[in-house]
Structure 1
Amino acid sequence: MTKIVKSDAEWQRLLSDEAYHVARQHGTERAFSGEYASFKGDGIYRCVCCESPLFDSTAKFDSGTGWPSFYQPLAPDVLEEKKDISHGMIRVEVLCATCDAHLGHVFPDGPKPTGLRYCMNSVCLNFIPRSQES
């Protein structure tokens, strides 16, 4: 897989202020504020930075946390995970494997079949309806 690398200035030109803050500066959107927190469309969620396909809506579930949550990615190699010890917690950060965008975190409290909860920031995702997927 070829990595997409851009300067901070390039990312700032391409993204909204909020998307830049969350995806490139490892921020977090407020719970229940994101466009996809309770969204139920059928399709694919792509990275806001590079448009890599990340999650299928069939793996989305209502976690009650206020962020869109998925029990598995589209494929194992679309995400990278990294230990995150910020904010006095130990968590596992989830990054886009193509462009290193910060997407959210993964927790071991999700539903079957994986038992995982990929808790993502809506602003880091673009939803494409299945009918428009090529």
Structure 2
Amino acid sequence: MARYFTDEHEWLDVTGDEATVGITDYAQSQLGDIVFVEVPEAGKDVKKGEDAAVVESVKAASDVYAPLDGTITEGNAALGDDPSLVNTDPEGEGWFFKLTLADKSQLDGLMNEAAYKDFIASL
């Protein structure tokens, strides 16, 4: 499994042609207490950069973008019952959706963990 990051503060764990997507610890800390999450339904086709999910906190609402082209295979139903999972375990149980990658070459445009840490340090 390889982990990648976007400049929109999403993380993806990629195994083969499958990816699990969520928001980073940095992103959840900027949002504050998460009160609502809307995840996409299985079967939805998404394009890189388009809205895939919604997260709302006491501070703001924000879109979660598709980091790559693909087809949603699962939304994290647990977030409907307990959106605070995004705060307590953003890069684990607080994942948003899983998707089948349409074009693995798009991974080349994403950051590894070291590059992402440098990116957030520059903000």
Q: Same fold (TM over 0.5)?
A: no
TM bin, normalised by shorter chain, reads under 0.3
Please say which structure displays the higher CA radius of gyration: 1
Select the structure that is richer in strand. Answer: 2
